[in-house]
Structure 1
Amino acid sequence: MTSAVVEEALKKAALAWVSVGDGPALGVWCMPLDGSLIMVSGPGEQHAPGLAEASTATVRLRGDNGGLIVVAEMTVTRLARDGDDWAEVAPQLAQKRLNASGTFGELVTRWAADGCAIVRLTPSDHDTTAPHLPATSGAAAPRDTPARVETKRPFRLHRVRKS
């Protein structure tokens, strides 16, 4: 995998599947910014257990057609609430937050007051891997069921005359 693929996937990312350690991959919304992903988690926001305290995370990104194209190990950096990065990034992230109540400034203030974590995920120097996809579809066979839907006779608008 080239870094160009990772960069392109990062630019188009609005949702990423993030797993910390051996935990399950959770779908979290994110904002691409300068070759990294910015995410918020905490009270009243999305649930990403252990992400704010972790040093690395595995991130899965999809391509244009919705399929998985990149699995990358990324470095996790938590932004300090009183730092310059927070002041610059938090308002941009608040603008991308859908269905939030209040203004962008009120949302950023609430994130700081509630102890929400804003993290930056940056691709690390480790090799990025292409996902190992099976050759089969992976679809399960239909289950047997006693339920049956009877089909009706076709509807006819006009009476059909026999010749």
Structure 2
Amino acid sequence: MTQTQALIEEAVKKSGLIWVQGPTGPSRALWHVWHEGAAVLVGGPGEQPLDGLGLVDGGTATVTVRSKDKGGRLVMWAARVAEVPAGSEEWTAAVAELKGKRLNAPDAEGLEERWARECRVVRLSPTGDTSPLPDGSLAAEPLATPVTTRRAMPAALPKLLRRGRR
């Protein structure tokens, strides 16, 4: 194992999220597991969204791994994308690992069946190529959404809050 492969494996194993950017769409934070030399993730209805990234079998993606404790970028690497066919031996082994890391699943007993029926399991295997880390911020405009969370504070709110403390 080369130093680059060891760095990628160790960083991905310790990080709870990886940032994945496919050929299309923005980079997206995804939860994953490291299994048999690749980052494995699941996406689809009821899971994390993979649509819009362009992750297709045989395609490529760029993966950025951050430090779990400091949050800074550790390594950016190129990945080969492989969709794992549902029901195969490889799928069964990958899903067993993923199921152990899936938090708050609404249907823990039927999770594997739902994933086989509705979701995609994708392997991101390192090609061995890494990219230099950028010098500046990679902050981007938030994606457009009809949801709003911020409105002007009502003028009477500070007075009401002070009154509740008495």
The bucket for the TM-score relative to the shorter chain is: 0.7 to 0.9
Residue 115 of structure 2 is aligned to residue 122 of structure 1? no
Match of 1:96 in 2: 101
SS of structure 2 residue aligned to 1:5: helix
| d(CA) in 1 for partners of 2:95, 2:58 | 20
Distance in 2 separating the partners of 1:24 and 1:128 = 19
Aligned-pair CA distance for 1:22:
4.1
Whether 1:37 aligns to 2:5 is: no
Distance 2:99 2:15 in 1: 16
> In 2, are the aligned partners of 1:20 and 1:54 still within 8 Å (CA)?
no
Shift of 1:2: 3.0
TM-score (norm: length of structure 1): 0.73
Distance 2:24 2:86 in 1: 28
Task: Count residues in correspondence.
Answer: 133
The reply on whether 1:77 has 2:82 as its aligned counterpart is yes
2:12 pairs with 1:10: yes
Gaps of 5+ in 1: 139-163
- Find the counterpart in structure 1 of residue 149 from structure 2: none
Greater Rg, structure 1 or structure 2? Answer: 1
TM-score calculated relative to the size of structure 2: 0.72
- Pair 1:2–1:88, CA change in 2 (3 A): closer
Amino acid aligned to 1:123: P
> 1:102 Cα shift?
2.6
The ranges of structure 1 where at least 4 consecutive aligned residues each deviate by more than 4 angstroms after the TM superposition are none
CA–CA separation in structure 2 for the residues paired with 1:91 and 1:6:
22
Deviation at 1:34, TM superposition (A): 2.7
Identical aligned pairs, as a percentage? 37
Letter in 2 for 1:29: W
Q: Which amino acid aligns with 2:64?
A: R
**Residue among 9, 20, 23 paired with 2:22:** 20
Tell me the SS of whatever aligns to 1:23: coil
Alignment gaps of 5+ in structure 2: 140-166
Report the Cα distance in structure 2 between the residues aligned to 1:128 and 1:53, rounded to whole angstroms: 21
- Once residues 83 and 52 of structure 1 are traced to their aligned partners in structure 2, the CA distance between those partners, rounded to angstroms, is 18
CA distance in 1: counterparts of 2:104 and 2:48, whole angstroms: 13
Counterparts of 1:102 and 1:13, CA distance in 2: 25
After superposition, give the CA deviation of every residue in 1:22-50 in whole Å (9 maximum; x if it has no partner): 42101111111233111001111111122
Q: CA deviation at 1:51?
A: 1.9
